[in-house]
Amino acid sequence: MSEDASYMRQSIIPVRLRSVDPAVAIAFGCIILLLLGGSIYSSNFLSPDYLLQQLKVASFLGVIATGMMMVILLGQIDLSVPWVVTAGAMMACAATAYGTAGSIVAIPFGILCGAAIGAFNGAAVAYLRIPSMIITLATNAVVQGLMVVYTGGFAPQDAASPAMRFLATGYLIPAIPNGVLVWLVTGILTVFLLTRTTFGRSLYAIGNRERAAYMSGIDTRRITLLAFVISGALSALGGVLLAGYASKASQSMGDAYLLPSIAAVVLGGTHVLGGKGSYLGTVAGVILITLLQSILSVMQIEEAGRQLIYGAVIVCMLLLYGRQKLA
Amino acid sequence: MSAKSPSDWRFWYVQHKGTLLAAALFLVMFVIYVSNHPAGFTPNVVQTASKKATLLAFVAMAQCFVVITAGIDLSAGMILILCNCLASWLVVGTPLQTGLGIVAVLLTGLACGLLNGLIIIFGRLQPIVTTIATSAIFFGLALLLRPTPGGSVNEDLADAFTSKLFGIFPTSLIVLALTILIIWVPFSRSVLGRAAYAAGSSENAAYMSGMPIKRAKLAAYALAGLLSAIGGLYLTFFSYTGEAAFASGNAYTLYSIAAVVLGGVSLAGGKGSAIGAVFGALAFRTIGDLLFVFDLDPLWQPLFQGIVLMAAISIGCIGLARVRNRLEWFQ
């Protein structure tokens, strides 16, 4: 299957299109199919209002998946997303309680907390060589414990500041929600980082073979640490946006983002063992998952059916293009 | 067991170091727990403790089968939930109906595991993403069966499986031990089990030596499904109902990974045993109970559990100090 695809790519498709990852193309194709299929059910699916609303919802997952993608490119994984998202949201809301000064530092403070947790993860993975799957799982448990102790089992100061609400739901430019703008800025920065800086190149190099990257003089440990810091910070930013959107922080608000963020990154053609993938693919994966969830819920399919279709679609799409080469 | 020379013993020790450490960790924690428990070391205390631990022990054992082949099963918790919901429909009525129900539930678990294995091995997909996707499917099925919590179970049977044998031994622990004897011991000593270990430690080398890697992996995933199903049955015996609870399914998956790590099973594959995983699960549950006997605020329980987990896995990185060649960091 994969051999056929690569053969075809070399022979039939013109040179310019050859660099397009088939995974990204298939993902975007599926998005269009979903929209067309939805429009048969109701013409609202093609209206600009609906599409912008979907982009707004997708922006939360988009920001979180961006961080996840950096870590996956390294060949690691970040399972601490659920409670880093929650911690970012809760800490930002908590800072709001301390008057005007608190409100001003709320957003940076939330992101900083996420970055600190990310730094801890990164240090453990890079310098202590603990497998990322274990240490991020443990971090998740510890952060959960800290948040439960902090909130005393209920939410003390949980209202989002006006700035957070503006960041998530306001309109700086007419018609385009700020959440989408945040995602756009994050995305542009990420594309720049991944394609134009030594940091980005090093990420791919480490993901392909850390040993070789180390031998060619890359400080692989520093890069790994940085990638985890970015992942933590972006998860917390996602949490801040979510808190602004729901105008409060609550426990377990981040639970729904771990598996979709991994799925979005992988559906976008990023290799789950690292070293290969483009940001465009992640964007496609995020939009695909958000649209799929939205269309299924608009069609009033029950939660059970939604989960079934959601899982089946991911498996089928991966079988289309995510298969490993034969040994 | 025949007489062993000292070098044999050293080999045995190195091979089982993880399992022995897990057992020691559990024993220390359990002794602290019991000696501080107001009731002391009585069958009732042991029964309550084993009740909480058995469920996790089954899922951890399931996780262990897959982890040994260097895979991971993130759908183990959802298979448990699915089987819990199924059991709350089927394991009722006359003894014959109940028996058929149990067989059906176990076969369902086996089928779920088989599905995972087929997709991963013949679809050549990564275990992480595959089991994430199938866990959504299993949870969807569970929700179809039980949109709201409810159902019932044959209570005589449930009581028989959760009470004490001869008034001393908790039945759940005996079933756990029997499961190890019937499923794990034959598997780990069979050609398939050896091939599973070999595939975990070096798949290429195992392939070159002509070991049945595909069949071994498939068997590991299928048996993992079966073990999760036994866990699901036990959940039904304890709770008398079926509930499609998303959060608890996820928690079982994550805790099973933690238990496996505590039990000395290497996530890189090829190392560890299901017995270690079971001790890991028992130790992990005892951590939670320790707080209870020390009269701490239950609010602190998640934090305490997290810190002990983190301390336990940090012990694993002590070996780093002994690495002479830096290149060995990058395996």
In this complex, is the C-beta atom of A326 within 8 Å of any C-beta atom belonging to chain B?
Answer: yes
| Identity at A272, one-letter amino acid code | V
Among B26, B103, B61, which residue's Cα sits nearest to residue B231? B61
In this complex, is the C-beta atom of A31 within 8 Å of any C-beta atom belonging to chain B?
Answer: no
How far apart are the C-alpha atoms of A160 and A245, rounded to whole Å?
9
If pLDDT is split at 50, 70 and 90, which confidence band does B39 have? confident
Contact B204, B53 (CB under 8 A): no
Percent helix, percent strand, percent coil in chain A, to nearest 5: 75, 0, 20
**Whole-number Cα distances in Å, A323 to B90, B126, B129:** 38, 8, 12
Percent of chain B at pLDDT above 70? 92
- Residue B169 dihedral angles phi and psi, to the nearest 5°: -85, 130
Residue B325 has pLDDT above 50, yes or no: yes
Q: Which range among A26-35, B15-24, B263-272 has the greatest average pLDDT?
A: A26-35
pTM for the complete prediction?
A: 0.84
If pLDDT is split at 50, 70 and 90, which confidence band does B151 have? confident
How far apart are the C-alpha atoms of A267 and A289, rounded to whole Å?
9
CB-based contact A314 B299, cutoff 8 Å: no
Q: pLDDT tens digit string along A261-303?
A: 988 998 888 888 888 889 999 999 999 999 988 888 888 788 8
If pLDDT is split at 50, 70 and 90, which confidence band does B314 have? confident
What confidence score (pLDDT) does residue A191 get?
94
Residue B20 has pLDDT above 80, yes or no: yes
How far apart are the C-alpha atoms of B329 and B321, rounded to whole Å?
11
B145 or A15, which is more confident: B145
CB-based contact A315 B135, cutoff 8 Å: no
CB-based contact A144 B141, cutoff 8 Å: no
Average pLDDT for A28-36: 87
**Whole-number Cα distances in Å, A131 to B164, B235, B320:** 40, 31, 13
Contacts of B184 (CB under 8 A, 6+ apart): B61, B273, B274, B275
How far apart are the C-alpha atoms of A137 and B256, rounded to whole Å?
11
In this complex, is the C-beta atom of B129 within 8 Å of any C-beta atom belonging to chain A?
Answer: yes
If pLDDT is split at 50, 70 and 90, which confidence band does B56 have? very high
CB-based contact B124 A128, cutoff 8 Å: no
Residue A8 has pLDDT above 50, yes or no: no
How far apart are the C-alpha atoms of A92 and A59, rounded to whole Å?
19
What confidence score (pLDDT) does residue B84 get?
92
The interface residues of chain A toward chain B in range 159-198, judged by CB-CB distance below 8 A, are none
Contacts of A327 (CB under 8 A, 6+ apart): B203, B204, B207
In this complex, is the C-beta atom of B205 within 8 Å of any C-beta atom belonging to chain A?
Answer: no
Question: By CB neighbour count within 10 A (0-12 exposed, 13-18 middle, 19+ buried), where does A159 fall?
Answer: middle
Contacts of B62 (CB under 8 A, 6+ apart): B73, B76, B79, B113, B223, B224, B225, B226, B227, B228, B231, B256
What confidence score (pLDDT) does residue B319 get?
59
How far apart are the C-alpha atoms of A44 and B282, rounded to whole Å?
54
A154 or B147, which is more confident: B147
- Residue B193 dihedral angles phi and psi, to the nearest 5°: -65, -45
Average pLDDT for B75-96: 89
How far apart are the C-alpha atoms of A88 and A24, rounded to whole Å?
31
Residues of B in contact with A148 (CB under 8 A): 299, 302-303
Q: Which residues pair with B169 in a beta bridge?
A: B165
A201 or B168, which is more confident: A201
What confidence score (pLDDT) does residue A13 get?
53
Percent of chain B at pLDDT above 90? 29
Distance of CA A131 to the CA centre of its chain: 21
In this complex, is the C-beta atom of B251 within 8 Å of any C-beta atom belonging to chain A?
Answer: no
Mean of the per-residue pLDDT values for chain B? Answer: 84
What confidence score (pLDDT) does residue A263 get?
87
Q: Which two tokens stand for residue B89?
A: 């429909």
CB-based contact A129 B307, cutoff 8 Å: no
The single residue listed with the structure tokens 């924690």 is B29
DSSP per-residue codes, A219-233:
-HHHHHHHHHHHHHH
CATH topology of domain A22-35+44-321: ABC transporter involved in vitamin B12 uptake, BtuC (1.10.3470)
Contact A195, A171 (CB under 8 A): no
Long-range contacts of A279-283 (CB under 8 A, 24+ apart): A279/A66, A279/A69, A279/A187, A279/A190, A279/A191, A279/A194, A280/A24, A281/A21, A281/A23, A281/A24, A281/A27, A282/A62, A282/A65, A282/A66, A282/A69, A283/A62, A283/A187
Q: Which range among A118-122, A169-173, A310-314, B297-301 has the greatest average pLDDT?
A: A118-122
Residue A183 has pLDDT above 90, yes or no: yes
What confidence score (pLDDT) does residue A201 get?
92
Residue A102 has pLDDT above 90, yes or no: no
Average pLDDT for B63-73: 91
Instruction: Please measure the distance between the N-terminal and C-terminal CA atoms of chain A and give it in whole angstroms.
Output: 14
Contacts of A196 (CB under 8 A, 6+ apart): none
If pLDDT is split at 50, 70 and 90, which confidence band does A327 have? low
**Whole-number Cα distances in Å, B244 to A309, B206, B225, B232, B247:** 17, 40, 17, 11, 9
Contact A214, B327 (CB under 8 A): yes
Average pLDDT for A166-185: 84
Q: pLDDT tens digit string along B175-187?
A: 899 999 999 999 9
Average pLDDT for B42-48: 75
In this complex, is the C-beta atom of A146 within 8 Å of any C-beta atom belonging to chain B?
Answer: yes
A131 or B229, which is more confident: B229
If pLDDT is split at 50, 70 and 90, which confidence band does A172 have? confident
> In chain B, what are the domain boundaries?
43-307
Mean of the per-residue pLDDT values for chain A? Answer: 85
Among A134, A147, A166, which residue's Cα sits nearest to residue A85? A147
Average pLDDT for B153-165: 75
Average pLDDT for B121-130: 87
> In chain A, what are the domain boundaries?
22-35+44-321
What confidence score (pLDDT) does residue A9 get?
47
Distance from the A134 Cα atom to the nearest Cα atom in chain B, whole angstroms: 7
Q: Which two tokens stand for residue A178?
A: 């700020």
Average pLDDT for A177-197: 92
Q: pLDDT tens digit string along B213-237?
A: 999 999 999 999 999 999 999 898 8
Chain pair A-B, CB pairs under 8 angstroms:
163
If pLDDT is split at 50, 70 and 90, which confidence band does A305 have? confident
Q: A228-250 b/e with 16+ CB inside 10 Å = b?
A: bbbbbbbbbbbbbbbbbbbbbbb
Average pLDDT for B265-287: 86
CB-based contact A322 B258, cutoff 8 Å: no
DSSP per-residue codes, A285-326:
HHHHHHHHHHHHHHTT--HHHHHHHHHHHHHHHHHHH-PPPP
Neighbours of A67 (CB within 10 A): 30
Residues of B in contact with A311 (CB under 8 A): 133-138, 140
Residue A226 has pLDDT above 60, yes or no: yes
In this complex, is the C-beta atom of A324 within 8 Å of any C-beta atom belonging to chain B?
Answer: yes
DSSP code at position B211: -
Question: By CB neighbour count within 10 A (0-12 exposed, 13-18 middle, 19+ buried), where does B7 fall?
Answer: exposed
What confidence score (pLDDT) does residue B61 get?
94
> Among A83-97, A222-236, A306-320, where is mean pLDDT lowest?
A306-320
Residues for chain B: how many in total? Answer: 331
Of A149, A311, A318, the CB nearest to B300: A149
Average pLDDT for A162-187: 84
DSSP code at position B182: I
DSSP per-residue codes, B259-282:
HHHHTT--TTSS---HHHHHHHHH
Average pLDDT for B42-63: 84
CB-based contact A311 B317, cutoff 8 Å: no
Of A143, A152, A323, the CB nearest to B124: A323
